């Protein structure tokens, strides 16, 4: 029997109890006890599975961090190698009519590429028409306003419940 079925059985028993005017017959009390025991066993089993999966999630998160650090190291190595190769290409590569430096090896053809990027030297000196502001909803400000009795169109406080396992 799963938790849903146990909860449904419990609700049915409580409904039967209410229909009897609150009188708890021995049959109702036995059914309540069986349902409570079944719930306890299932709840404990669920809690153990949750704890096990939480532990696995933590291990996976650590592995993701390790792999991200390894990825960053490899990306930095690629970047440094490309910078070194670009510098060497500017010295040893032959320039074609379009100003592109080329170099051929027995297995590869190398070439440079020109690109442009904007470099900001002093952000405070940039005119406001070149600055973009981000529009973002502040949930903390909305929460505070609602708690202080202010009606906020399009928002409401929602009560959530979660289980704590210790």
The per-residue pLDDT for 73 is 98
73: tokens are 């190291």
The whole-number pLDDT of residue 99 equals: 86
Residue-level pLDDT at 102:
92
pLDDT of residue 41: 80
Burial class (CB in 10 A: 0-12, 13-18, 19+), 6: buried
Token representation of residue 30: 């036995």
**103 has which bridge partners?**
110
Q: Measure Cα distances from 89 to 86, 95, 107, 150 in Å.
A: 5, 10, 16, 65
| pLDDT at residue 165 in the model | 80
Identify the pLDDT of residue 56: 92
Mean pLDDT by 10 residues, the chain (166 residues): 74 73 73 75 81 92 98 97 94 90 92 91 93 93 96 94 81
> Which DSSP string corresponds to 101-136?
EEEE-SS-EEE---------S-GGGS-GGG------
Specify the pLDDT at position 139. 96
Q: Do residues 102 and 110 make contact, with C-beta atoms less than 8 angstroms apart?
A: yes
């Amino acid at each position: 029997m799963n938790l849903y079925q146990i909860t449904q059985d419990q609700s049915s028993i409580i409904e039967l109890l209410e229909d009897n005017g609150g009188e708890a017959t021995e049959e109702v009390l036995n059914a309540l006890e069986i349902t409570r025991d079944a719930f306890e066993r299932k709840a404990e089993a669920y809690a153990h599975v949750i704890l096990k999966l939480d532990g696995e999630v933590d291990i996976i998160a650590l592995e993701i961090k390790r792999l991200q650090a390894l990825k960053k190291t490899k990306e930095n190595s690629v970047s440094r190698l490309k910078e070194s190769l670009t510098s060497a290409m500017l010295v040893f590569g032959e320039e074609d009519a379009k100003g592109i430096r080329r170099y051929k090896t027995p297995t590869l053809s190398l070439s440079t590429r020109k690109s442009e990027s904007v470099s900001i030297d002093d952000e405070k000196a940039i005119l406001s028409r070149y600055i973009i502001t981000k529009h973002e909803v502040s949930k903390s400000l909305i929460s505070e306003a609602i708690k202080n009795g202010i009606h906020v169109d399009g928002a409401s406080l929602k009560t959530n419940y979660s289980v704590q396992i210790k």
